[in-house]
Amino acid sequence: MAKSTSSRPLSAQRRTRILQATLRVLARGGIRHLRVDDIAREAGLSKGALYATFRSKDDLLLALVRWWSATELQVLATLSTERERPARERLAHWFRHVLTANNVRWTARYEFYALGSRPGPVRDALQEHWRRSVVLLAELLAQCAAEPQPATPPIARAVALTLFLEGWLFLRVTALPAVEPEGASQAWRIWQHLHPPTEDSSRAPRTLGG
């Protein structure tokens, strides 16, 4: 019994070790060049040890997407339930978390979306990630709506709209069902409500940070 109990933490550590190694290899070479040999070498394990944890490369990729999703959703869930800081500050924290992710996570995220362009378990996992993200963000945005909202400079609104549309088009490529034109338009109207324009909308600051 003692041996079985002590092996569980070791198994979990090995699983995380393999997932982290897969993330790095995926970010370096993309899905087309992802090889089990390279993952095992990156993790410092034999192929046998890797296959003892994951039955196939497809199982490994699905576990990777779910592991990444759980990590991201946990951050968002914590921010949506926190009450020590204003909601707008917590929302800004979320954006900083996403935008300042290291290159490995950024690149791997694009590879996930490429995988999600085809029907299958990975697409299902990404769709579930999207649905849960929307629910958590909706809760956080509802808290923002209850707070006084500062005016937003026109240039900041223009940049936000550009990023919004580019992101929407990118997600549409993965065929995520929640990203429909009507939903996108509604989301933009909510953003406008949370970020009203400045009184002088014809005067844009000289820099993005102005």
pLDDT tens across 13-61, in order?
A: 999 999 999 999 998 888 888 999 999 999 999 999 999 999 999 999 9
In-domain check, residue 77: yes
Domain count, the chain: 1
Quote the radius of gyration of the chain (alpha carbons, Å): 21
Task: Return the number of other C-beta atoms located less than 10 Å from residue 112's C-beta.
Answer: 22
Q: 9 lies in which domain range?
A: 2-148
Question: Regarding predicted confidence, which is higher, 49 or 189?
Answer: 49
pLDDT digits (tens, 9 = 90+) for 76-91: 999 999 988 998 899 8
Q: What is the CATH number of the domain that holds 69?
A: 1.10.357.10
In-domain check, residue 117: yes
In-domain check, residue 190: no
Residue 158 has a pLDDT of 67
Q: Which residues contact 72 (CB under 8 A, 6 or more apart)?
A: 129, 133
pLDDT band at 203; cut points 50, 70, 90: very low
Share of the chain above pLDDT 90, in %: 32
Q: Which residues contact 115 (CB under 8 A, 6 or more apart)?
A: 31, 61, 65, 122, 123, 126
pLDDT digits (tens, 9 = 90+) for 108-142: 888 888 888 888 999 899 889 888 988 888 888 88
In-domain check, residue 95: yes
In-domain check, residue 209: no
In-domain check, residue 43: yes
